[in-house]
């Protein structure tokens, strides 16, 4: 199942990817997942209109380092604005630009963005083609459809390839399912058979066994892990068959790197959320979360996390 993946000349060290996760896949988190084995990581989705308006908050989402390869995800529905974003200095460092055509959230769909584009195939095709004209590698992440009555994964996959996409990621659920229920393996398999470009499968992957089932049943070229990475980023090491470092080591390094990049105010709020994810399932988790969310400084957060993640060896270390 595990192998290098060539995407239009961009060679990923393996085919186990980190999904773009709004509000979470900032640079320190992406870097941690790469150390744990992720073959490619994506920024959280970035508004092309925000880039066009010169929003500094939008640009912050695109902070990256020298890591390679790396990908950014964008959203929007105006072909000209989307192409301009792909050609912008802000996106220049990225090896791949992914277009979000899967987000089911009402505030995104109501603006005609995200999964709404699967209801307007001519516009979706124009958006992809415009972005491809920028000269950047373009991929598209989409769902199997809007509803169970209209599953169009194979048709949409062909549209993406024809418009110039060099990779697609298929989330195996329709919009109405949000993030619940078993993924539609058959629909992903149909999309894979319909195109010659790499197909990445997404949805319901929480373990090595899930990843293996996904590739076995769909024939996909790789998998994309989403929510599982928030609860246990070591999932990448698990899938790759590597020894993983303990959560304590991961948390404190992530805390230090987030503080250095983002400052104390953001770090406290963000890392409280991350610690709450990481302690899910631990004995006393409810009390740990109460303590964590009472923290108002990095110092108090360190003290609380010291109790949440005791100094015990859970596995190997990483560089």
State pLDDT tens for residues 258-277. Answer: 999 999 999 999 999 999 99
**Model pTM score:** 0.94
pLDDT for the residue 176? 85
Instruction: Establish if 313 belongs to a structural domain.
Output: no
Q: Which residues contact 54 (CB under 8 A, 6 or more apart)?
A: none
Q: Which domain holds residue 274?
A: 247-308
**How many domains, in total, are found in the chain?**
2
Calpha distance 92→135 (Å, rounded): 11
pLDDT for the residue 281? 82
pLDDT for the residue 178? 86
210-241 pLDDT tens trace: 999 999 999 999 999 999 999 999 999 999 99
pLDDT for the residue 312? 52
Q: Are residues 105 and 80 both part of a single domain?
A: yes
Q: One of 12, 103, 160, 262 is an active-site residue; which one?
A: 103
Q: Are residues 224 and 304 both part of a single domain?
A: no
Q: Which residues contact 106 (CB under 8 A, 6 or more apart)?
A: none
Calpha distance 36→244 (Å, rounded): 7
pLDDT for the residue 261? 95
Q: What parts of the chain have a pLDDT lower than 50?
A: 313-319
Q: Which residues contact 27 (CB under 8 A, 6 or more apart)?
A: 63, 64, 65, 261
Told to judge if 131 belongs to the known catalytic residues of this protein, a careful annotator would answer no
CA-based torsion, 302, 259, 243, 282: positive or negative? positive
pLDDT for the residue 313? 45
Calpha distance 48→117 (Å, rounded): 15
Q: Are residues 182 and 290 both part of a single domain?
A: no
The residue written with tokens 């809007």 in the block is 146
Q: Are residues 11 and 134 both part of a single domain?
A: yes
Other Cβ atoms within 10 Å of 203 Cβ, number: 26
Calpha distance 18→200 (Å, rounded): 11
Q: Are 273 and 29 spatial neighbours (Cβ–Cβ below 8 Å)?
A: no
Q: Which of 216, 240, 264 is the last residue of a domain?
A: 240
pLDDT for the residue 315? 43
Instruction: Establish if 62 belongs to a structural domain.
Output: yes
Angle between helices 264-278 and 285-293 (to 10 degrees): 170
Other Cβ atoms within 10 Å of 248 Cβ, number: 18
Q: Are residues 70 and 190 both part of a single domain?
A: yes
Instruction: Establish if 34 belongs to a structural domain.
Output: yes
pLDDT for the residue 135? 97
Instruction: Establish if 160 belongs to a structural domain.
Output: yes
Terminal Cα-to-Cα distance of the chain (whole angstroms)? 25
Instruction: Establish if 291 belongs to a structural domain.
Output: yes
């Amino acid at each position: 199942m595990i192998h290098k993946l060539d995407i239009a000349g961009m060679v990923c060290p393996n085919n186990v990817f980190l999904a773009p996760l709004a509000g979470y896949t900032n640079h320190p988190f992406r870097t941690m997942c790469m150390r744990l084995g992720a073959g490619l990581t994506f920024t959280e989705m970035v508004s092309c209109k925000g880039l066009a308006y010169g929003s500094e908050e939008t640009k912050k989402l695109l902070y990256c380092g020298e890591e390679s390869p790396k990908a950014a995800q964008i959203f929007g529905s105006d072909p000209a604005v989307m192409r301009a974003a792909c050609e912008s200095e802000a996106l220049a460092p990225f090896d791949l630009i992914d277009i979000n055509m899967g987000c089911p959230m009402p505030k995104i769909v109501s603006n005609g963005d995200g999964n709404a584009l699967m209801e307007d195939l001519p516009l979706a095709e124009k958006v992809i083609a415009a972005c491809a004209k920028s000269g950047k590698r373009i991929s598209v992440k989409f769902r199997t459809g809007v509803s169970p009555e209209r599953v169009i994964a194979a048709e949409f996959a062909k549209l993406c390839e024809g418009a110039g996409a060099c990779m697609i990621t298929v989330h195996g659920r329709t919009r109405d399912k949000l993030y619940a229920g078993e993924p539609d393996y058959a629909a992903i398999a149909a999309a894979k058979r319909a195109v010659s470009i790499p197909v990445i499968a997404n949805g319901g992957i929480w373990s090595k066994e899930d990843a293996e089932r996904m590739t076995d049943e769909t024939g996909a070229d790789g998998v994309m892990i989403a929510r599982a990475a928030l609860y246990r980023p070591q999932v990448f090491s698990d899938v790759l068959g590597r020894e993983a470092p303990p959560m304590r080591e991961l948390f404190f390094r992530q805390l230090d790197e987030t503080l250095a990049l983002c400052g104390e105010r953001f770090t406290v709020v963000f890392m409280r959320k991350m610690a709450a994810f990481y302690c899910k399932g631990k004995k006393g988790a409810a009390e740990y979360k109460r303590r964590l969310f009472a923290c108002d400084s990095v110092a108090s957060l360190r003290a609380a996390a010291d109790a949440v993640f005791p100094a015990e060896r859970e596995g190997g270390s990483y560089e």
